[in-house]
């Protein structure tokens, strides 16, 4: 399942970041940004993350917080607009899309790490 693969990648990034700190600590939360045009089921991703995080010792209590980024694009005439679904044409002039600015994100935007005493490190 695609969402499980994404959850695993996030947990691997967290584990790498934490183990590279060379001190006992754990991830308290991780924020991700998911573009509106990304075919990701956010509820499925949250469920997958919570189901497998116990397998990652530094992430067993980590909370995943997902935000969706609205799609935005620029047409060949230079207008910024919101592409609707698969219709990539400018809503203002009908020109085709020159650049998709937002909507395809799938990235970690913030990680909260605590040391073994519960002190906020990052
Ligand atoms: Zn336009």
Identify the DSSP state of 107. E
Q: Is the per-residue pLDDT at 25 higher than 70?
A: yes
Q: Is-contact 52 8, C-beta < 8 A?
A: yes
Q: Give me the domain span that covers residue 8.
A: 2-69+103-115
Residue 20 lies in a domain: yes
Q: How many domains in the chain?
A: 1
68 CA → ligand 1 middle, Å: 24
- Model confidence at 86, pLDDT cuts 50, 70, 90, reads low
- Model confidence at 72, pLDDT cuts 50, 70, 90, reads very high
Residue 120 lies in a domain: no
79 CA → ligand 1 middle, Å: 4
Q: What CATH number should be reported for the domain holding residue 108?
A: 3.30.2320.50
- Model confidence at 117, pLDDT cuts 50, 70, 90, reads confident
pLDDT in tens, 36-69: 999 999 999 999 999 999 999 999 999 999 999 9
Cα–Cα distance for residue pair 103/2, rounded to 1 Å: 18
36 CA → ligand 1 middle, Å: 21
Burial annotation 35-56 (CB, 10 A radius, 16+ → b, else e): bbbbebeeeebbebbeeebeeb
| pTM (2 d.p.) | 0.86
């Amino acid at each position: 399942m695609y969402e499980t693969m994404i959850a695993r990648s996030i947990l691997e990034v967290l584990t790498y970041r934490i183990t590279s700190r060379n001190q006992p600590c754990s991830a308290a939360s991780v924020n991700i940004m998911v573009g509106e045009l990304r075919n990701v089921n956010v509820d499925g991703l949250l469920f997958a993350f919570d189901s497998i995080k116990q397998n990652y010792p530094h992430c067993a209590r980590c909370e995943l917080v997902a935000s969706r980024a609205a799609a935005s694009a620029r047409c060949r005439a230079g207008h910024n607009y919101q592409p609707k679904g698969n219709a990539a044409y400018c809503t203002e002039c009908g020109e085709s899309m020159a650049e998709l600015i937002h909507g395809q994100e799938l990235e970690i935007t913030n990680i909260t790490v605590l040391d073994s005493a519960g002190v906020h490190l990052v």
